[in-house]
Amino acid sequence: MSVSNIDSLAKQTKSILNKNNIKLNKNLGQNYLIDKNKRDQIIKFGNLTKDDVVLEIGPGIGTLTTELSAKAKKVIAIEQDPIIFKILEERLEKEKIDNVELINNDALNVDFPKFNKIVSNLPYQISSPITFKFLEYDFDSAILMYQKEFANRMDGKVGTKDYSRLSAMLYFKCDVEILTQVSAESFIPKPKVDSSVVKLTPKLPELIGKLNAIENDEISDPAFKTYSNFTKALFQHKNKKARNALIDSRHEVCNLDKKEMKKKLNSITSHKINDLLDQRVITITPEEILYLSEHLTF
**Residues for the chain: how many in total?**
298
pLDDT in tens, 90-106: 999 999 999 999 999 99
pLDDT at 204 (0 to 100) = 61
pLDDT band, very low/low/confident/very high, at 143 (cuts 50, 70, 90): very high
Task: Report the chain's mean pLDDT, rounded to a whole number.
Answer: 89
Specify if 215 maps to a domain.
no
First to last CA, the chain: 56
Do 157 and 280 fall into the same domain?
A: no
**CATH number for the domain that contains residue 250:** 1.10.8.100
**CATH number for the domain that contains residue 22:** 3.40.50.150
pLDDT: is 49 or 14 the higher one? 49
Give the bridge partners for 280, in sequence order.
Answer: 241
pLDDT: is 293 or 16 the higher one? 293
Specify if 55 maps to a domain.
yes
Mean pLDDT score, 245-251:
96
Residue 5 has pLDDT above 60, yes or no: no
Do 263 and 172 fall into the same domain?
A: no
Domain interval for residue 113: 3-202
Q: Which residues in 183-192 are b (16+ Cβ under 10 Å) and which e?
A: eeebbbeebe
pLDDT band, very low/low/confident/very high, at 66 (cuts 50, 70, 90): very high
pLDDT at 27 (0 to 100) = 64
Specify if 211 maps to a domain.
no
Do 69 and 141 fall into the same domain?
A: yes
Specify if 62 maps to a domain.
yes
pLDDT in tens, 221-234: 677 889 999 999 99
Do 93 and 16 fall into the same domain?
A: yes
Specify if 209 maps to a domain.
no
Residue 267 has pLDDT above 50, yes or no: yes
Residue 215 has pLDDT above 90, yes or no: no
Residue 4 has pLDDT above 60, yes or no: no
pLDDT band, very low/low/confident/very high, at 30 (cuts 50, 70, 90): confident
pTM: 0.87
Residue 216 has pLDDT above 90, yes or no: no
Specify if 108 maps to a domain.
yes
Residue 220 has pLDDT above 60, yes or no: no
Burial status of residue 262 (CB atoms within 10 A of its CB: 0-12, 13-18, 19 or more) = middle
Residue 55 has pLDDT above 70, yes or no: yes
| Alpha helices by DSSP H, 104-257 | 127-134, 148-154, 165-171, 221-235, 242-248
Specify if 73 maps to a domain.
yes
Residue 167 has pLDDT above 70, yes or no: yes
Give the bridge partners for 175, in sequence order.
Answer: 201
Specify if 216 maps to a domain.
no
